[in-house]
Amino acid sequence: MSDYFPADIHIGGPIPWRIVDELIQAVLAEGASPTGFGEENANEAAVREACQGGQVVSLYDNQARSGEFAKLEAFLARQHIHFDRHSTAYAEHNAENVYYRGGKAPLVVPASQAGNDLVYASEVIEILDNESLEDRENLEALRKLAASPQTAELEAIRFV
């Protein structure tokens, strides 16, 4: 049995023109709102307008299954369409942010309820305790831990 709890997803970056209709149908199938939590679900005209408006398309769902948009996220990754997702913590589920920038797999990062990325203290300590690294290498390793290229700001939709 799945839990249902709040999540939001934001779609952007380069999108091939040939899949716009498929993207719109995938968005509509989620039954989420483009205006906020608890608001009216998206309709085709609103999603099409948002996609063609050269902006990031955002969707919100108070009752996302497992705090995910599983089918939409799978579609986006298959098509190499960039997205960010934030799920709040609920029961045994921790809050998380998911980033996808067209690579092999989305990057899942622990998050605060407010959507800020978190790193585990154990990861920081492991880097700092690595005696084979010099101070500069330690700093670079910490920077990579805290700011993966996949967490770069999501660009507005642009059709290619």
In this structure, which long-range contacts are made by residues 42-49, counting pairs with CB atoms below 8 Å and at least 24 apart in sequence? 48/20, 48/24
Does residue 16 surpass a pLDDT of 60? yes
Contact 14, 156 (CB under 8 A): no
Task: Give the pLDDT score at 139.
Answer: 83
* Per-residue pLDDT, 80: 96
The answer on pLDDT for 143 being more than 90 is: no
Which pLDDT score, from 0 to 100, does residue 88 have?
95
Residue spans per domain, the chain: 4-118+152-159
pLDDT the model gives residue 28: 94
pLDDT digits (tens, 9 = 90+) for 97-139: 999 999 889 999 999 999 998 988 898 888 888 888 788 888 8
Per-residue confidence band for 147, with pLDDT thresholds at 50, 70 and 90: confident
pLDDT attached to residue 128: 85
Q: What is the pTM of this model?
A: 0.87
Cβ proximity of 106 and 81 under 8 Å: no
DSSP bridge partners of 100 = 83
Residues 6+ apart with CB under 8 A from 159: 14, 15, 16, 17, 20
Q: Are 100 and 116 in contact (CB under 8 A)?
A: no
Higher pLDDT, 50 or 28: 28
The per-residue pLDDT for range 53-103, each reduced to its tens digit, is 788 999 999 999 999 999 999 999 999 999 999 999 999 899 999 999 998
